[in-house]
A and B are shown apart, each in its own frame.
Chain A
Amino acid sequence: MDFLNTHLLTSILFFPVLAALVILFFPKDQVKLIRWFTLGATLVPFVLSLLLWAGFNPAAQGYQFVEQYPWYDAIHSSLHLGVDGLSLTMVMLTTLLTPLAVLASFGITDRVKAYMMLFLFLETGMLGVFLAVDLLIFFLFWEVGLVPMYFLINQWGSANRNYASLKFMIYTMAGSLGLLLAIQMLGVMFQTYDLAVLTQKWNEFNPATFLGLPITTVKAIAFWAFVIAFAIKVPVWPFHTWLPDAHTEAPTAGSMLLAGVLLKLGAYGFLRLVLPFYPAEAQRFAGWLAFLAVMAIIFGALGSYAQDDFKRLVAYSSVNHMGFVLLGVAAAAKVAGTVDATIALNGAVLQMFNHGLSAAGMFFLVGVIYERAHTRDLNKLGGLFPVVPVYGSILVFTSMASLGLPTLNGFVSEFLVVRGAWAAMPVYTALAMFGLLMTGAYILKGIKKVLHGPINEHWAHGEHKLTDISTREVLVIAPLMALMLILGIWPAWLLDVINKAMSMLF
């Protein structure tokens, strides 16, 4: 136990990779064994992160459970891990969603071994971003997580997967170029990649000119280099076009993690790097960020409403919901240091967590119906409530959480964002409210087109008769629904951790 106490973060981070290496030696045809082993292996980081949660002291300053090992001395980068309230929340989300995604993948029959190994690699990639407190290690995990996702989409996706996976990969890599260059510049200037040191030195760095340019210009360029890399991942309008393609083609569990966790990496980048590194620039460009956020909210909603493909509808809803995260960030940047800023940031982080729950849930439910009907065309579905009543109820519940119905989780976070942003940027907040109205519209459209209407004879009888959601599938969605309800009624347990982290960070 002593080892675990001192190496808790490395255990959480690298356990999935170790498990993947063990799976490598399993025979290919032992599908059942591989599935259950993977499920067990993903539950271990979850249990460990519960320990982390229990041992975490929300009131303490700085990073906790810090571990540091030499990694690349020649360029002064070390494997430096730590958690604060922000990363802890995200780690919990990741370790919770991964076993659920694995459980949701039990239906996969094609090359199960490779599939499960990629999932485990993906988990380590995602966790690494949240745990890193060294900028180079952050970037390492940021990029390396792309690889398993690329192959999950490319190998287990649907018809247009080649296009979608390449677009996903190239879009993200190209977007990260500016980030990579900025990281190199910082490393050359300060000879360290330690986040805390780097933040301080970079903020104190204020010569009149640098690299032959005025320092304000350099900082503004570096700011946008960071912002674009993260904005693509969030994704923010107009960088969102890879997302619907990637989601539509990805296998169900891939979509769950893509929407549930991978998008959060971008938002996390805003909070962990952009705001601390560029407080002045963030304030200066807060209006632009808010503009992008509001465009994401409105166009995400309109785009979603216009879809006939159920999965695309949910994919665009991610653009809409993640827009609120960025709106919170923009508002907090504008009025940094005030109570409003803290409220907005609380909302943003909680919204990240909530969207992780609801988006993963929604994509899973799309997958459930697709697996049975082999179509996601909303015009071919409809009238399914009497055919699959349990599924219908679950879908309505999850949709309502996504819509932001009070007593469910989405409401709390969106309310906080709007409350925090109201004073700082009233016009954008008002426009965002219009987007929220549209959220209601597209979600109701989705429910209506799938569940309501006269009973659908095609799916009710004969060879196309749909079966209701299975016990395994209920087990996937039940923890998510429970959390949605708990967070809707009593968000304080999580919000307390987030709030303390936000007030200490900013």
Chain B
Amino acid sequence: MQFPLLSVIVFTPLVAALLILLMKPERKTEVRVAALAAASFALLLSIWAFISYDQTAAGYQFVEKYDWLPLLGISYHVGVDGMSTPLVLLTGVVMFTGVLISWGVDDRPREFFAFLFLLAGGVFGVFVSLDLFMLFFFYEIAVFPMYLLIAIWGWKVTREYAAMKLTIYLFLGSVFALVGALAMYWVNYQNTGILTFDMLQLEKAGFSSQFQYLWFMPVFMGFAILGGIFPFHNWSPDGHVAAPTAVSMFHAGVLMKLGGFAALRVGVMLLPEGAKQWAWLIFGLAMVNVVYGAFIAMIQTDLKYVIGFSSVSHMGLVMLGISTLTPEGLTGAGLQMFSHGVMTALFFASVGMIYDRAHTRMIPELGGMVKALPWVAIAFTIGGLVGMGMPGFSGFVAEFPIFMGVWKTQWLAAVIASISIVVTAAYILIAVRRVFFGEMPAQFEGHMTPISPLDKIALVTLVLLMTGLGMFPNLMAPMISLGVQNILRLLGGA
């Protein structure tokens, strides 16, 4: 029997969460070591999956399928294609770095890591699910711990508000998507007489155009809320700000990708006619995300809000790329999901390190951090260059094809969206300068302890990924192109 790679990846964090809960709460160091061991293991396996994905064979690989509830046509069916393999890798990376920088969490670390791993397991599960029911199952597993993580370990000022807002938004979205999914399930049964949630079957269901027109928007938007699509993006910056550092990393780094990915997998791939019908609307909303998000980010004074809204803008590019339904746009969207995930993880890790020491995130109150925290300054700056789409970094190799896709769809939109590039450059440069350069305010004198070696490992890992992908896009782009070809095939070779 083939080694069940994907199952091991998915269940490593889930089992680890259970085991960690069994440990004694006061043995904090052991809890942390166990968490790090599990995260490293999951990272290694996801790297393995990324490397051993066979690009000549393409298609879904490492497939496992077991009946789960055959009566209702539910099976445990997992597999990855060119689109999801990089996202599995991303989750592994964010999980690993998230544990590293959470070493200092002193308030109930046992429960913290357990919930974090529950979240990670859910995320892994969504990325590898080929069964619609399983996808929802893991989706809810991923969303639910967010509430607790934010409400318990979050920023005291807004955590209850933000946790509630986030949960309500996301559950509301998933309800719409779930209703759409059930409609697909039922109509497929009526057409074929087979009860199945298997997405590979549903792809071939041949839903009528009317059905697709009707259900595409609820399904796509239901998931896209988690991707922060306008006008339902509002929960996201609040959630980022209130969440503890590692949770922010997860939230922006992989959870928002979950929205983009599921919208693509369920919305576009199962309802391709609907996608073609409504692409213009998604396109328009995503345009608002891109441009409006950048302007809103520019006027923020809280560093975490700056990054929160920059995520809205950058995730808008993902949606924009998807909505072009072109090879370039979709490839760019896939790359942007990975690049943005690594970048925001880095941003939030850096902000967390500053906040832990300065106890403020207000940009006007900060300054001169480069002397005390040079590693953070350099890492954040490189993240900033990625964010502004500087060539040579991963942001550029992702955004450039997206723009090419936009050119193919509506050239005027490319011109308008390009405004965001300059706005983004401006707010990132200004934030970097104010926070890291200039004079350090006197009250921070003596509080700026150096970051730990674990923090450094996390920062270096993330930086290497962004520069590596920026300089060698061929490391990942061909794999994503394979996934894109499959999507285009479903779209009828568009």
Q: Chain B residues near A211: list those with CB within 8 A.
A: 411
Contact with B along A164-182 (1 / 0, CB 8 A): 0010011001100100110
Q: Chain B residues near A185: list those with CB within 8 A.
A: 407, 411
Cβ B411 vs Cβ A154 within 8 A: no
What is the predominant secondary structure among interface residues of chain A facing chain B? helix
Cβ A174 vs Cβ B422 within 8 A: yes
B122 proximal to A (CB < 8 A): no
Cβ A166 vs Cβ B426 within 8 A: yes
Contact with B along A276-313 (1 / 0, CB 8 A): 00000000000000000000000000000000000000
Total cross-chain contacts (CB, 8 A): 84
Q: Chain B residues near A11: list those with CB within 8 A.
A: none
Contact with A along B464-492 (1 / 0, CB 8 A): 00000000111001101100000000000
Cβ A162 vs Cβ B481 within 8 A: no
Contact with A along B418-435 (1 / 0, CB 8 A): 110110011001100100
Quick one: which of A71, A74, A136, A150 has the most chain B CB within 10 A?
A74
What is the predominant secondary structure among interface residues of chain B facing chain A? helix
Q: Identify A170's interface contact among B404, B418, B425, CB under 8 A.
A: B425
A423 proximal to B (CB < 8 A): no
Cβ B407 vs Cβ A184 within 8 A: yes
Cβ B474 vs Cβ A73 within 8 A: yes
A174 vs B418: C-alpha distance when bound (angstroms)? 9
Cβ A143 vs Cβ B407 within 8 A: no
Cβ B400 vs Cβ A166 within 8 A: no
A70 vs B418: C-alpha distance when bound (angstroms)? 27
Q: Chain B residues near A140: list those with CB within 8 A.
A: 391-392, 396
B401 proximal to A (CB < 8 A): yes
Q: For chain B residues 322-352, which have a beta carbon within 8 Å of chain A?
A: 328, 331
Q: Chain A residues near B425: list those with CB within 8 A.
A: 169-170, 173
Contact with B along A131-149 (1 / 0, CB 8 A): 0000010011111100100
Q: How many residues of B contact A (CB 8 A)?
A: 35
Cβ A184 vs Cβ B404 within 8 A: yes
Q: How many residues of A contact B (CB 8 A)?
A: 31
Quick one: given A144-B390, A185-B407, are A73 and B437 in contact (CB under 8 Å)? no
A115: min CB distance to chain B, Å: 14
Cβ B328 vs Cβ A188 within 8 A: yes
Q: For chain B residues 253-297, which have a beta carbon within 8 Å of chain A?
A: none
Cβ B414 vs Cβ A73 within 8 A: no
A50 vs B476: C-alpha distance when bound (angstroms)? 38
Q: Chain B residues near A75: list those with CB within 8 A.
A: 328, 331, 400-401, 404
Cβ B331 vs Cβ A74 within 8 A: yes
A174 vs B424: C-alpha distance when bound (angstroms)? 11
A479 proximal to B (CB < 8 A): no
B348: min CB distance to chain A, Å: 23
Please name 13 pairs of A and B residues whose Cβ atoms are closer than 8 Å in the assembled complex, sorted by A.
A70-B474, A72-B474, A73-B478, A74-B331, A74-B401, A74-B478, A139-B391, A154-B437, A173-B422, A180-B418, A180-B421, A181-B418, A188-B404
Q: Which residues of B contact A (CB under 8 A)?
A: 328, 331, 385, 388, 390-392, 396-397, 400-401, 403-404, 407-408, 411, 414-415, 418-419, 421-422, 425-426, 429-430, 433, 437, 472-474, 477-478, 480-481
Q: Which 5 A/B pairs are nearest by Cβ-Cβ distance?
A: A140-B391, A74-B477, A72-B473, A144-B392, A188-B407
